[in-house]
Amino acid sequence: MKTIVLSLSASSFFRALATGWFILFLHTTALGQSEAPVESDWDRTFMPTVQLGYVAHGTEELSGGLMTQTSVEYRDISGIIFRINYDAFGANMNLQYPIDSNLTFTGRTTFSEGIIGVGYRQNMGKHNLTAYVQPGIRLYGYPEFTLEANSANLDYDSRNVGVIRYSLGYEYALAPKLFLAIEGLISHTWKAKDFWTDNRWSYGATIGISAPLF
């Protein structure tokens, strides 16, 4: 009986081993990409998110009213969120008439806020929690009365005041890239001014739909 001996040099062995590792690496990489596709920045950019709600303005001079919240946000893979808001508010004014303190001046008014800040999103599958801190500026018109004899002329002066808002939210995934969003918020101005002379907290809630840009 003849014995056949197969010899393999060290260089051939290591070449074959390297080839095997390379093939395994390509297979693992392809499998990983198919299981967890990489999201682009556009996939993480939500724009625009529109929500409607109600806000109590925390002052006796303004009634509560409708709030329209429009925001753009970028959601980092770490869970950190960068958000910009432009929000519009409506309310009824109830101001003391300057000639007779027993009379009041009433009317509709609107104002807006531009705020920017950061937040965090806790991803739990279909149910997600969010939190935000956003400073910014509030733009509004304040009525000015000019007294002449026994009459008063009314004009509006464009003004602004610094504001900060804190929000907590809940998201429910209606689809892989479509969310029902509910948020509660509180805010206050940086200083006592005009409608907000007592600078109490205002608070409210919104509901809407959010989805990525693409």
Q: What CATH number does residue 153 fall under?
A: 2.40.160.20
Torsion of CA 34, 42, 129, 77, to 10 degrees: 60
Q: What is the count of structural domains for the chain? A: 2
**N-term to C-term CA, the chain:** 73
Is the pLDDT reported for residue 24 higher than 70? no
Domain-located, residue 4:
no
pLDDT given at position 37: 53
Q: What radius of gyration do the chain's Cα atoms show?
A: 30
Domain-located, residue 86:
yes
Residues 74 and 136 occupy one common structural domain: yes
Q: Tell which phi-psi region holds residue 101, choosing left (phi > 0), alpha (psi between -120 and 50) or beta.
A: alpha
pLDDT given at position 43: 77
Residues 15 and 89 occupy one common structural domain: no
Residues 30 and 101 occupy one common structural domain: no
**CA contacts within 13 A on the Cβ side of 132:** 27
Vertex 165: Cα angle to 160 and 169 (nearest 5)? 145
Domain-located, residue 93:
yes
Report pLDDT digits (tens) over 36-82. Answer: 455 676 678 888 888 999 999 989 899 999 999 999 999 998 999 99
Q: Which residues, 6 or more positions from 43, have their beta carbon under 8 angstroms from its beta carbon?
A: 177, 212, 214
Domain-located, residue 3:
no
For residues 82 and 214, what is the distance between their CA atoms, to the nearest angstrom? 18
Residues 199 and 121 occupy one common structural domain: yes
Q: Give the Cβ contact number of residue 141 at 10 Å.
A: 14
Is the pLDDT reported for residue 139 higher than 50? yes
Query: Which among 9-18, 25-34, 103-112, 155-164 has the top mean pLDDT?
Result: 155-164
Range of the domain at 29: 10-39
Residues 176 and 75 occupy one common structural domain: yes
Residues 22 and 98 occupy one common structural domain: no
Question: Is 25 buried (19+), middle (13-18) or exposed (0-12) by CB count in 10 A?
Answer: exposed
Query: CA 125 from chain center: how many Å?
Result: 19
Residues 116 and 128 occupy one common structural domain: yes
Is the pLDDT reported for residue 98 higher than 70? no
Predicted model pTM? 0.76
Query: Which among 24-38, 94-108, 176-190 has the top mean pLDDT?
Result: 176-190
Q: Which residues, 6 or more positions from 93, have their beta carbon under 8 angstroms from its beta carbon?
A: 61, 62, 105, 106, 107, 108, 109, 143, 195
Residues 103 and 160 occupy one common structural domain: yes
Residues 94 and 167 occupy one common structural domain: yes
Domain-located, residue 5:
no
Residues 25 and 75 occupy one common structural domain: no
Domain-located, residue 63:
yes
- What b-and-e string marks burial along 148-170, b requiring 16 or more CB atoms within 10 Å of the CB? eeeeeeeeeeeeebebebbbebe
Domain-located, residue 152:
yes
Residues 68 and 174 occupy one common structural domain: yes
CB distance 207 to 181 below 8 Å = yes
Residues 140 and 109 occupy one common structural domain: yes
Domain-located, residue 2:
no
Token digits of residue 84: 């910009």
